[in-house]
Amino acid sequence: MFIYSLSPEKLIAWNNKIPKKSLKYLTEDMAKLPVAGSLQGKKSGNIEEISKLKPDIVISMGDINDSTISQVEKFQKQSNIPFILVDGKMDKLPEAYKFVGDLLNKKEKAKELALYCEKTLKSSKEITNNIKEDKKIKVYYAEGPKGLETDPEGSLHSEVISYAGGKNVANFPVKHGSQNTVSMEQIISWNPDVIVSDSNVFNDSSWKQVSAVKQNKIYMIPNLPFNWFDKPPSINRLIGIRWFQSCLYPDLYKGDINKDTKEFFKLFYHKDLSDEEVNDLLKTNISK
């Protein structure tokens, strides 16, 4: 996704299979690309399949830790293909675009994308700096088939919460490679003001004890062409910040989420959206 936004013609494979419903929001030739897997996450790449594609370089964005460095060193040794790790943290995105833009000879486009990143992070900070810590809205990110999995504060997968000005109720050590499992009792104890999720799993009567459910403050994450929150945790989170901030603090959010969505899709996904398409993307934002 990161490379696609910068230089789609240089992308030769996807990490994961792109759903048909997502392809309409990308350039037409993207449907023809094979799937090669990734260095991180649940679907790791097959070095033999990657080698068959004969890439000049392989660029991976995400967490940079001992595990990923070890894996990259192993892949490089097996394939003799240069591998480049790019830090996926939100505040590193401007730097990432400039670095990879130089690498791919896409300096002007990289400069444009980096500027958007900087503006998004700056406007986010302007809002969050004006919210006292004890006034921040408490958020639970419900994942998994029952909503009992989550990503805690400090994870790439939950960064949108803090950048939007929310307070992630799950404040425990990050578990790399997968979500943390929590109990319903723990969620009830946290009693979040808002729940954000990518699926509606809240019909179980136990959820009715949670403030967010009582107040109907359940926000369903837009997921096209990619989940706006974290799947994967890449540049899709930039529009995710704007969207979630408009949900949490509509009085403080200075933008127009419909216009902002159009701008983001044109700039990063090379797609001009109609008003109808924008409405379709955003109609799942609140569970009613």
Q: What is the pLDDT of residues 234-273, one digit of tens each?
A: 999 999 999 999 999 999 998 999 999 999 999 999 999 9
What is the structure's pLDDT at 67? 85
pLDDT of residue 172: 86
d(CA 12, CA 30): 9
What is the token pair recorded at 64?
Answer: 């940079």
3-class SS at 167?
Answer: strand
pTM for the structure as a whole: 0.91
The confidence score (pLDDT) of residue 174 equals 79
The CATH number linked to 204 is 3.40.50.1980
Last residue of a domain, one of 70, 90, 110: 90
147 close to 201: Cβ distance less than 8 angstroms: yes
Give the span between the Cα atoms of 108 and 97, in whole angstroms.
Answer: 10
Shared domain check, 257 and 147: yes
In a shared domain, residues 183 and 267: yes
Query: Residue 170: which domain range?
Result: 133-282
Number of structural domains, the chain? 2
Q: What is d(CA 218, CA 197) in angstroms, rounded to the nearest whole number?
A: 8
Is position 209 within any domain? yes
Q: What is the pLDDT of residue 199?
A: 85
pLDDT at 288: 45
Boundary-marking domain end, from 56, 90, 124: 90
Return the pLDDT at 40: 60
Cis peptide before 34 (omega within 30 of 0): no
Q: Bridge-partner residues for 139, per DSSP?
A: 168, 194
Residue 96 in domain: no
Pairing of strands 194-197, 180-181: unpaired
Which residues of the chain fall below pLDDT 70? 39-45, 176-178, 284-288
How many whole angstroms separate alpha carbon 48 and alpha carbon 73?
Answer: 15
Cβ-contact 144, 179 below 8 angstroms: yes
In a domain, 119, yes or no: no
For residue 277, being part of any structural domain is answered with yes
- Whether 226 is in a domain gets the answer yes
Could you tell me if 268 and 160 lie in one domain?
yes
